[in-house]
A and B are shown apart, each in its own frame.
Chain A
Amino acid sequence: QVTLEESGPALVKPTQTLTLTCTFSGFSLSAPGMRVSWVRQPPGKAPEWLARIDWDDDKFYTTSLKTRLTISKDTSKNQVVLKMSNMDPADTATYYCARGGGYFFFDHWGQGALVTVSS
């Protein structure tokens, strides 16, 4: 059974760096072909893909946020971490981790973590 769970702060101040952790089970991110993505969804809006990390440690970012995002993995802990710098109120959203991305659909999602950016 595949599960993913996001954790991190619910509230961050403008200009701070957001750190989110995705803890997953039911698959190994060291297995060839496996990948985990981060997707965010502002309130009332569509999902937006942010970043992806692959089993071979390849990393990919959405163009508009590339300079602010860092994705990493700890295979031994079954975790993927996303850092987003210089947070702005416009970054207020529910942040999801999901298995998939690239030439693969998102077949399993975490429940999401709502992050509010406010002073």
Chain B
Amino acid sequence: EIVLTQSPGILSLSPGERASLSCRASQSVASNYLAWYQQKPGQAPSLLIYGVSTRATGVPDRFSGSGSGTEFTLTISRLEPEDFAVYYCQQYGSSPLNSFGQGTKLDIK
């Protein structure tokens, strides 16, 4: 099973700043099948990015994904108030076991 480790656990930033969230895999993620989800309190996770860098429908272009192999990054270019949430990475290149990272909480500073 592929283990995903996200860092940092908590990231405290101010609106307008740039955020970089890291996701490291214990082995190479096949076909770059790596997704990112955003979760706000009391809500289900919502798909942000799939295939490492493709934004889901309706996702603003301030969100971008990059990386390959075992190292991946979600970048939010300029934080908006609604971006403060928990972010999870997930790999779907190892079927059927689709694993999630433990999450990064993006806090308002």
Contact = CB atoms under 8 A, between A and B. Distances in A.
B93 interface: yes
Nearest to A106: B47
Given A106-B45, A106-B90, A111-B44, A62 B97 contact: yes
A96 B101 CA distance: 17
B44, B97, B103 interface centre (most CB from chain A within 10 Å): B44
Interface in B58-109: 88, 90, 92-93, 95-103
Judged by DSSP, the binding face of B is: loop
B50 A105 contact: yes
A98 B92 CA distance: 14
Interface residues of A, number: 26
A52 interface: yes
Contacts of B95: 60, 101-103
Contact of B88 (A37, A46, A108, A112): A46
B35 interface: yes
B26 to A, nearest CB: 15
Contacts of B93: 103
B12 interface: no
Contacts of B96: 52, 60-61, 101-102
A104 B98 CA distance: 9
Nearest to B91: A105
Contacts of B35: 105-106
A24 interface: no
Nearest to A45: B102
Interface string B30-73: 01010101000001111100100000100000000000000000
Contacts of B43: 111
A42 to B, nearest CB: 12
Nearest to A4: B44
Contacts of A108: 47
Interface of B: 1, 31, 33, 35, 37, 43-47, 50, 56, 88, 90, 92-93, 95-103
Interface of A: 37, 45-49, 52, 60-63, 96, 98, 100-112
